[in-house]
Chains A and B, each alone.
Chain A
Amino acid sequence: MEKQKFFSGRRERKITETLFLVPTVLAFIMVIIVPFIIGIYYSFTDWDGVNAAKNLVGLSNYTTIFTEPAFLHAFLVTLEFTVLNVIAVNVVAFLMALLVTSQVKGRNLYRAGFFVPNLIGGIVLGSIWQFIFASILPGVGKAVGWGWLSSSMITNAKTVVGAMVTVNTWQYAGYIMMIYVASIQGISQQVMEAASVDGATYWVRVRKILIPLMANAFTISLFLTLTNSFKMYDVNLALTNGGPVAMFMKTPVQASELLALNIYNTAFKYSKMAQGQAKAVVFFVVLVVVSLIQVSINKSKEVEM
């Protein structure tokens, strides 16, 4: 009885609730907030990542990175990859969602099949696709005599981003498809039937009813694909490792090195931890701004029934 009284008081309940939050909040502070603040501090130093010696150097890391061709190039490639990838993933995912919510035979099998690639880790996926791009596709190309297929897509600076988009779409579209499927199933069948009685064709119904009513699913899916593309690292590392080499601002740069990989390489490969941190801070700010813009635009398009 004593115990029950302890938990029933308003004040006490608040304490209990707060206590339940403590482990999570503590973990969040330890692994996200604290490293984030320390990272900002490091970006103003000249730390190499290992030795204790570090001096404050003010904003010089920030001025250096904006004149560095490799970083600027990584920025542009990341934008290119993000635009292509967001379009590819969402178009493919939406079409797959339409397919598996239609009356087509074996739709449950498709649904499972489309989702399975998402269960494979990025590094494994990257290595497998590297083998496909480097050995299998050129092998097929040579065997059937198609010149365009007989050299590897990932060693050509012009096609390498397309290769990465292909792999990421293959992996991620199934996941986004599930979000669209859930949203489509949440729409009342009566509305669709009423429209079809009025003589609206399937595509008209999709365009005029389904898509507007699914606006909140688009918000979340675009947000997920946008941030996912911006932060792409594992597939990038395992599939291309940044290669091949291209010329940019008269300097050789890695044609497919996205921002996350560029930051990692700066910090660890070239032992410039502080400069890598400065890049990471810039990366963070850009990502926040871009995703806020995206969410507010999408939110304004959402409608209620």
Chain B
Amino acid sequence: MKKILVLVLALVMALSAVSALADITIVQNKVEIDAALQEYAAEFSKEAGYNVKVITAGGSSDYNTALKAEFASGKEPDIFVIEGPTGYELYKDKIADMTGDEWTQYTTAAYMDGDKVVGFPVSVEGYGMAYNADILAKAEIDPATLTNVDAYKAAFEKLDSMKDELGLDAVVSMVAGTAPGMTWVTGLHNFNVYLTVGLDRNDTSIIDQVLAGEVDEERFHAYCEYVALIFQYSDPEMLLNGTQDMQLAAFANGKTAFYHQGNWMDPNIVALNVDFPMAYAPHAFLHEDTDGILVNAPSWYVVNANGNVEQAVDFLNALATTELGHDYMVNKASMVPAFTNVTLEPATPLSKSVMEWNAAGKTYSWQQYKLPDGFGMGTLGAIYELLASGAIDEPTFEQMMKDAIATIPTL
């Protein structure tokens, strides 16, 4: 009996010696990098002498609600993700200042509050109209010409008429359903096309106008027609029922020519062994040429000032400065890193396309996260779904969108 007691005591002491450095918890929102990040965190923990626990909530479920639940339950994470000003304002009181920390010298994409550096850019991400280059070649469409809405219209019509010949189910793989949780594609990402395409990266005139409850009539009309055009050439069942996996499967199996998603889908594309060449064409909804895709640091890691700040910052420094960290970001998670000291190049098709557009300087910014909480996914997402289901036509869609935007100042 005594022996056992001594053994237990020794074990307890040994365990408490190991955990002298407090463990840290990360709550993050990218399902597609979950496995890679878990693996990296495990490897990092071995060297660092403390454990890094990764909790992932996102994709079809809602990261923001999960994070609020974590905070409400008192299990505050040490590192979590903000997606822009809305998230930052919400958690401002809890976010630590990282000005002068090692990683900050290698990036220009950090999240800033005035002169304070507060957010570590997770990556840069981009989206546009991903296309299957083989199908476009067979239909004799040059993707480089897809820089205005008239070119898109002609290309969609041509592909639609050749559907049987090319083995297509629909021209575009697009989703808009609430039930499978895909309204972020329409209400946030697609809506951002209206907010920034054709504008300078620092030009916030359209989003400022929207936040004041107004729209630019001519531009907005062109945008709504573009949405209707995409929906018209999408599979109606996919629009309402499609999940992220179903949407990708249609494109990856060569059943659609275009795919409305970002380069964060790369790991899934690799997993499906897709062998046709693909790249991004711009979301060109205007009659004038707009030659660029939508690229931004979509989210930032922030450190909880009430947590284990030292270990958390250590973790981020290692991510930005060690070979292991770079290998994780580029090769394992297939992300486009926001850091200038990274020399690795992504091997996956969509990330490569984002890097090329980015290097050419042909990018438009993301402003959709300035919308009030739930407005894009919930309020606007519902109106997109109505259009997708055929319950309303394009003019009604336009009017309802305007009415919804007009309520923003009262929210």
* A and B part of one assembly: yes
Q: Is A162 an interface residue (CB 8 A)?
A: no
Q: Is A271 an interface residue (CB 8 A)?
A: yes
Q: Which of these, B68, B90, B240, B383, contacts A244 with CB under 8 Å? A: B240
Q: Is B373 an interface residue (CB 8 A)?
A: yes
In the complex, are the beta carbons of B177 and A270 less than 8 A apart? no
Distance in angstroms between the alpha carbons of A229 and B60 in the assembled complex: 25
Distance in angstroms between the alpha carbons of A49 and B68 in the assembled complex: 8
Q: Is B148 an interface residue (CB 8 A)?
A: no
* Chain A contacts for B98, CB-based, 8 A: none
Distance in angstroms between the alpha carbons of A130 and B180 in the assembled complex: 9
In the complex, are the beta carbons of B374 and A138 less than 8 A apart? no
Q: Is B395 an interface residue (CB 8 A)?
A: no
* Chain A contacts for B93, CB-based, 8 A: 51-52
Q: Is B232 an interface residue (CB 8 A)?
A: no
In the complex, are the beta carbons of A51 and B90 less than 8 A apart? yes
* Chain A contacts for B240, CB-based, 8 A: 152, 155, 244
* Least CB distance, B67 to chain A, in whole angstroms: 9
Q: Is A50 an interface residue (CB 8 A)?
A: yes
Distance in angstroms between the alpha carbons of A134 and B237 in the assembled complex: 9
Q: Is A253 an interface residue (CB 8 A)?
A: yes
In the complex, are the beta carbons of B179 and A48 less than 8 A apart? no
Within 8 A of B (CB), among A245-265: 245, 247, 252-254, 264-265
- Per-residue CB contact flags for chain B residues 378-401 toward chain A (1 = under 8 Å, else 0) read 110011011001010000000010
- Per-residue CB contact flags for chain A residues 259-293 toward chain B (1 = under 8 Å, else 0) read 00000110011110000000000000000000000
Within 8 A of B (CB), among A128-142: 130, 134-135, 138
Q: How large is the interface on B (under 10, 10 to 19, 20 to 34, 35 or more residues)?
A: 20 to 34
* Chain B contacts for A152, CB-based, 8 A: 237, 240-241
Distance in angstroms between the alpha carbons of A217 and B158 in the assembled complex: 66
In the complex, are the beta carbons of A270 and B386 less than 8 A apart? no
Q: How large is the interface on A (under 10, 10 to 19, 20 to 34, 35 or more residues)?
A: 20 to 34
* Chain A contacts for B64, CB-based, 8 A: 268-269
Q: Which of these, A239, A252, A254, A271, contacts B373 with CB under 8 Å? A: A271
Q: Which of these, B90, B179, B237, contacts A151 with CB under 8 Å? A: B237
Residue among B68, B69, B374, B382 facing the most chain A CB atoms (10 A cut-off): B382
In the complex, are the beta carbons of A244 and B178 less than 8 A apart? yes
* Chain A contacts for B385, CB-based, 8 A: 243-245
- Per-residue CB contact flags for chain A residues 204-248 toward chain B (1 = under 8 Å, else 0) read 000000000000000000000000000000000001111111010
In the complex, are the beta carbons of B179 and A155 less than 8 A apart? yes
Q: Which of these, B177, B181, B379, contacts A155 with CB under 8 Å? A: B177
Q: Is B91 an interface residue (CB 8 A)?
A: yes
Distance in angstroms between the alpha carbons of A188 and B214 in the assembled complex: 74
Distance in angstroms between the alpha carbons of A151 and B236 in the assembled complex: 10
- Name the residue of chain A whose CB is nearest to the CB of B385: A245
In the complex, are the beta carbons of B386 and A252 less than 8 A apart? yes
Distance in angstroms between the alpha carbons of A239 and B241 in the assembled complex: 12
In the complex, are the beta carbons of A155 and B241 less than 8 A apart? yes
- Name the residue of chain B whose CB is nearest to the CB of A130: B179
In the complex, are the beta carbons of A265 and B178 less than 8 A apart? no
In the complex, are the beta carbons of A268 and B237 less than 8 A apart? no
Q: Is A165 an interface residue (CB 8 A)?
A: no
* Least CB distance, B55 to chain A, in whole angstroms: 17
Q: Is A154 an interface residue (CB 8 A)?
A: yes
Distance in angstroms between the alpha carbons of A247 and B391 in the assembled complex: 9
Residue among A252, A253, A265 facing the most chain B CB atoms (10 A cut-off): A252
Distance in angstroms between the alpha carbons of A244 and B383 in the assembled complex: 11
In the complex, are the beta carbons of B177 and A243 less than 8 A apart? yes
* Least CB distance, B224 to chain A, in whole angstroms: 15
Whether A244 contacts B389 in the complex (CB less than 8 A), given A134-B241, A254-B178, A254-B382, comes out as: yes
* Chain B contacts for A253, CB-based, 8 A: 382
* Chain B contacts for A254, CB-based, 8 A: 178, 382
Q: Is B65 an interface residue (CB 8 A)?
A: yes
* Least CB distance, B228 to chain A, in whole angstroms: 16
* Least CB distance, A72 to chain B, in whole angstroms: 16
In the complex, are the beta carbons of A270 and B90 less than 8 A apart? no
In the complex, are the beta carbons of A245 and B382 less than 8 A apart? yes
Q: Is B288 an interface residue (CB 8 A)?
A: no
Within 8 A of B (CB), among A102-146: 130, 134-135, 138
In the complex, are the beta carbons of A50 and B178 less than 8 A apart? no
Q: Is B62 an interface residue (CB 8 A)?
A: yes
* Chain A contacts for B383, CB-based, 8 A: 245, 252
* Chain B contacts for A49, CB-based, 8 A: 68, 72
* Least CB distance, A142 to chain B, in whole angstroms: 10
Q: Is B276 an interface residue (CB 8 A)?
A: no
- Per-residue CB contact flags for chain B residues 144-183 toward chain A (1 = under 8 Å, else 0) read 0000000000000000000000000000000001111100
Distance in angstroms between the alpha carbons of A137 and B56 in the assembled complex: 32
Q: Which of these, A48, A151, A252, A269, contacts B65 with CB under 8 Å? A: A269
* Chain A contacts for B386, CB-based, 8 A: 245, 247, 252
In the complex, are the beta carbons of B178 and A268 less than 8 A apart? no
* Least CB distance, A225 to chain B, in whole angstroms: 25
Distance in angstroms between the alpha carbons of A239 and B237 in the assembled complex: 17
Within 8 A of B (CB), among A35-77: 48-52
29 A–B contacts, CB within 8 A, in A order: A51-B92, A51-B93, A130-B179, A134-B179, A151-B237, A152-B240, A154-B179, A155-B179, A155-B241, A240-B178, A242-B178, A242-B179, A243-B177, A243-B178, A244-B177, A244-B178, A244-B179, A245-B178, A245-B391, A252-B383, A252-B386, A254-B382, A264-B65, A265-B374, A268-B62, A269-B62, A269-B377, A270-B372, A270-B378
Apart from the given pairs A242-B178, A252-B400, 4 other A-B contacts in the complex at a CB distance below 8 Å: A138-B237, A264-B65, A265-B378, A270-B378
